[in-house]
Amino acid sequence: MIRPDLTPGAWRKRTSNGKTIVCREDPNAVGIPLDVCRVWQSSFTEANAKAIAALPQLLAALEHYSTSSELVGVDTGIGLMVEREDRGHVARSALIEAGYKF
């Protein structure tokens, strides 16, 4: 899996001069936080900013589940066969949409 070149997380939502901004949360940074993006003011501003700020954690969860599989029992009619079923295809699809390469 190859990750896209994103601003490292964690990110947080903040307000500056009445504008909602998502910025990198870096406790070692000095000065003004690095802006990841500015969120246009609308009725969706708060929810959009929270969702964008959660992106690093969401991508980490998808990375984890993109490789998941599960043992399942299949009734063959003459007995139970156990096989591994891929459970990560939905997570991989979402990561591909986010710019990842597999």
**pLDDT tens digits along 9-36:** 788 888 888 888 888 877 676 666 677 7
Angle in degrees, CA 13, 26, 38, rounded to 5: 30
Residue in the structure block whose two tokens are 């690093």:
56
Q: Smallest Cα–Cα separation from 97: which of 59, 69, 64, 41?
A: 59
67, 68, 71, 72: CA torsion to nearest 10: -110
Q: At residue 47, what are phi and psi to the nearest 5 degrees? A: -65, -40
Cβ(66)–Cβ(92) below 8 Å? yes
What is the distance between the alpha carbons of residues 46 and 44, in angstroms, rounded to a whole number?
Answer: 6
Question: What confidence score (pLDDT) does residue 89 get?
Answer: 82
Mean pLDDT of 73-93: 75
Q: pLDDT tens digits, residue range 43-59?
A: 878 888 888 888 888 88
- pLDDT exceeds cutoff 70 at 84: no
- State both tokens at 59: 């991508």
